[in-house]
Amino acid sequence: MHTLLVTGPGGAGRTTVATATALAAAAQGRRVLLLKADPAAGPSAAVPSADQSAEPRAEGLRTARIDSGDEFRQELLALQERGSALLGMLGARPLAADELTELPGAEQFALLRALRRAAAEPATDLVVVDMPPLHQAVATLALPAQLRRYLARLLPAERQAARALRPVLAQLAGVPMPAQWLYEAAARWDEELAAVQAVVEAPTTAVRLVAEPGPAADAVLRTGVLGLALHRIPVAGLVLNRTVPADSADPWVAGIAAQQRAFAERWGTYGIPLTALPHLGRDPRGAEDLAGLAATEGFAPGPARPRPEWTVEDRIAEDGVLVWCVPLPRAEKRELDLVRRGDELLLTVGPYRRIVPLPAALRRCTVSGAALAEDVLRVRFTPDPGLWPRTP
C-alpha cells in the first residue's frame, strides 16, 4: 500500500489536484482512498462519506473526511475518564461533550490519526491525502517523531521500573497514584505516535507538490522542499497548476507563460518529475472538469521514490575524517545552523529544525567543520582518539 500526500502553497489548488490524482489512480485499476483534511462537517476520519453526491465517483475510489472537532472531543473525554480519580481528588467538575470546542492544533492530530487508520486498511492500494498548506504540512509530518522524543525525555521508560511500588502507595493514600495513569497514557501515546511515524517514514510514502508557477510560489516551494528534505520525505513530483498557453497572442498572457516556463526549467534541474495542468479559465467545476484534469498525460501517480539517503563517507585514509552528507536542495548557507549535543545533531534549515541521532560511528567523533556545496551539506567528523578503536 502506498501513501501520496498532496500539498503546496496556499491557494495553489491542492484539493483539486488531490481529487484528480485519486481519480487518475482509480482509472488505472487501483483501489484508492481519498482522505480529505477538510474541517467542513462530515463523517469522522477514515469513514467513507455518506453524501456521495458531493464526492468524485469512480470505480475503486472511496472518499473519507476528517472531523477534527469530533476527534478532539473523543480524545479529551477519554483522557478525562482515565484521570477521573485525580480530577475528583482535586474537586474538578468533568466537562461534557457538548461544551467542548477544539483547540488550535487539533486538526493536525486528527489528520495524523486518520492517516494511521487509512494506512492500515487492507483493501487499499493507494491513499491520497489532501494535506494542509506546505509549511503546515511539513510541521504536521514532523510531529510524531518530535513528540515521541519529548515523551522519552519527560517520561522515560526506565522510570516505570518503580511501578511495582505504586499499588502500595495507592493503598496508603487511598486513591490511585497519578504517576500510574500518566505513564500508562504516555505509553499509549507513544504507541500511537510510533504507528503514525512509521507511516510518514515508510518507503511507500511520498509527497506530491502542487503550485501555480510564479515567483511567489518559487519562494514557498523552496522553503517547503528544504523542510521535506530535512525530514527525509521524498517528493514524488511537482504539479504545475493553471498553466497558460505558451503561444498566446496576448502580451499579458505571453508574459505569464514566460514566467511559468522559467519556473519549470528551474525546478526541472532538481530531478523532480513535473506535470503541467492547463488553466481552464475558471475554477474546475464538477466531475467532468476533474475527469479531464485526471486524464492529462503523465498526471497519474507513478511508483514511489526512495527516501533520501544521508550517507557517511569514509575519508579517514585520505583526510582523517568521516563526512556525513545531507542533501538539501536549493539551500543557502545563511539559513543553515548545526549544533552537536551529545549523541545528537541539532540541524536548522530556514524555519525548520530537526534533532537527529548520530550514526554509531559518528558518536565517537568530534565535529570539525561543515560546508554546503552542490545542494549537499557535508559535515566533517574527526575520530576522537580516546573513543576510536586503536589499530595494532
Asked whether residue 185 carries a pLDDT value surpassing 50, the answer given is yes
DSSP 23-81: HHHHHTT--EEEEE---SS-SPTTEE-S-GGGS---TTEEEEE--HHHHHHHHHHHHHH
Rounded CA-CA distance 141/130 in Å is: 13
Asked whether residue 181 carries a pLDDT value surpassing 70, the answer given is no
User: What pLDDT is attached to residue 161?
Assistant: 47
For the stretch 337-357, pLDDT in tens is 999 999 999 999 999 999 999
For the chain, percent of residues with pLDDT exceeding 70: 82
Rounded CA-CA distance 63/346 in Å is: 39
Asked whether residue 216 carries a pLDDT value surpassing 50, the answer given is yes
Asked whether residue 179 carries a pLDDT value surpassing 70, the answer given is no
Asked whether residue 295 carries a pLDDT value surpassing 90, the answer given is yes
**3-class secondary-structure state, position 127:** strand
For the stretch 358-392, pLDDT in tens is 999 999 999 999 999 999 999 999 998 877 766 55
Asked whether residue 73 carries a pLDDT value surpassing 50, the answer given is yes
The average confidence (pLDDT) of the chain is 85
Tell me what the mean pLDDT of segment 31-44 comes to.
67
User: What pLDDT is attached to residue 327?
Assistant: 96
User: What pLDDT is attached to residue 48?
Assistant: 40
Tell me what the mean pLDDT of segment 302-331 comes to.
93
User: What pLDDT is attached to residue 339?
Assistant: 94
Asked whether residue 175 carries a pLDDT value surpassing 70, the answer given is no
Task: Identify the residue with better confidence: 69 or 215.
Answer: 215
Which pLDDT band holds residue 54 (cuts at 50, 70, 90)?
A: very low
User: What pLDDT is attached to residue 274?
Assistant: 95
Asked whether residue 259 carries a pLDDT value surpassing 80, the answer given is yes
Q: Give the start-to-end residue ranges of the domains of the chain.
A: 2-294, 312-383
**At the top level of CATH, which class does the domain 312-383 belong to?**
mainly beta
User: What pLDDT is attached to residue 301?
Assistant: 92
Asked whether residue 178 carries a pLDDT value surpassing 60, the answer given is no
Asked whether residue 112 carries a pLDDT value surpassing 80, the answer given is yes
DSSP 334: G
Asked whether residue 49 carries a pLDDT value surpassing 50, the answer given is no
Residue with cell 532538481: 270
Asked whether residue 165 carries a pLDDT value surpassing 60, the answer given is no
User: What pLDDT is attached to residue 180?
Assistant: 63
Rounded CA-CA distance 56/81 in Å is: 39
Distance of CA 389 to the CA centre of its chain: 39
DSSP 95: P
DSSP 202: S
Whether 2-294 shares its CATH topology with 312-383 is answered no
Tell me what the mean pLDDT of segment 124-135 comes to.
95
Max alpha carbon distance in the chain (Å)?
87
Which pLDDT band holds residue 128 (cuts at 50, 70, 90)?
A: very high
Residue with cell 500526500: 5
Tell me what the mean pLDDT of segment 3-7 comes to.
97
CATH 3.40.718.10: does it fit domain 2-294?
A: no
Cell (9 digits) for 273: 518529475
Rounded CA-CA distance 355/338 in Å is: 10
Helix 68-82 × helix 178-200 angle, to 10° = 150
Asked whether residue 275 carries a pLDDT value surpassing 90, the answer given is yes
Tell me what the mean pLDDT of segment 41-52 comes to.
38
Look up residue 243 and give its amino acid. Answer: T
